[in-house]
Structures are given as structure tokens and as C-alpha cells.
Amino acid sequence: MNHRTAILAAAALALGGCATTYQLTLMPRNSGNLYYGTATDSNSGEGAISITVDGITYNGTWVQVTPDRTTGYIGGAAGWGGGWGGGGRWVGGSGGWVSVDNPYGGRSTALLRSADGQGLRCDFVGSAQGYGGGSCRDDKGLIYDVQIRSVATETK
């Protein structure tokens, strides 16, 4: 591989970003059965999701509704300060960018559909550490509790 090809390959990897795969474990509230699925995140606030329940596979997408953290600029203050004695001094501060975790976690919602038209609707709460939980509800009204775990990070 020549120098130019190496640079182009490195640029493609950098622009491609990282994708994370999540393992979903579901348990219906009427039994102790476990069902499984996967979701992918390409750091765009949405991704594909697939869950299989009793041999029926539901496919769809999830979207982020509320982020798990936010970033903002905090400004400083400057001015002339003094006390009762009349003396003063320059008081200053500087601002900067700060990232703050959402204490409630990031929220996402998913809509899935099976090949025969059955639906599954899910609400999730997750953290930047790669885990979370939530629930799904099928067309019959059965609710499934969900655990979410990050299983792999790969470069596209």
C-alpha cells in the first residue's frame, strides 16, 4: 500500500466512526421466559433494532428522544470589586465548555414490526457507559421488561 492509499484508508476509518452493538434481554411480565435482540448505534442518535419473541422476529428502528449528556459553554465574569474601605481590585474569571451527564439517562423509543404485521413498541433509558433498561409492549398489551448491554464496539 502506498502512502496516498494509507492516508485515504485512515481518513475513511476516521469518517466512518464507531458502531456499537447492544444485546437486549426481554422478560414478559406474565412468565419467566427470556427473549433476545440486538440494536446498533452508529453515534447518530438512531439505529436498527431486531427482537425475536416466540419465533417471531420484529425489526425496526430506534431513535434518541433525550440525550444522555449535554455540552454547553459557561461564561466567566469580570468587574471591579471592592469593600467598604474603598479599595478595589480587578475580579475576573474565564469560561469554558463543560459536558454534563443527564441524571435520568438518555431516552430512546423504538417501533418494530414483524413480517406478518405484528407490532412491538419500546421505550429505553440508557447511559453513556453502555447499559440501560426499559420496556416493550406488543399489540396484545403484554409488557416486556428489557435489559440493555453494550457487547461490542467496532470501526466501520
> Contact at 8 Å (CB) between 21 and 40?
yes
The pLDDT of residue 1 is 45
* The three grid cell numbers given for residue 93, joined into one nine-digit string: 474569571
Tell me whether residue 86 is in a domain: no
> Contact at 8 Å (CB) between 113 and 61?
no
Q: Is the pLDDT of residue 133 over 80?
A: yes
Distance CA 2, CA 106 (A): 44
Range ranked top by mean pLDDT from 8-17, 70-79, 102-111, 141-150: 141-150
Distance CA 68, CA 70 (A): 7
Tell me whether residue 61 is in a domain: yes
> Contact at 8 Å (CB) between 78 and 95?
no
Residues whose CB is less than 8 angstroms from the CB of residue 10 and which lie 6 or more positions away in sequence, other chains included: none
Tell me whether residue 120 is in a domain: yes
Among 64, 65, 72, which residue's Cα sits nearest to residue 43? Answer: 64
What mean pLDDT is predicted for residues 66-90? Answer: 57
Q: Is the pTM of this model over 0.85?
A: no
Tell me whether residue 77 is in a domain: no
Tell me whether residue 11 is in a domain: no
Residue 130 belongs to a domain with what CATH number?
A: 2.40.128.120
Q: Pick the residue with more confidence: 52 or 5?
A: 52
Tell me whether residue 110 is in a domain: yes
The pLDDT of residue 27 is 98
| Domain total of the chain | 1
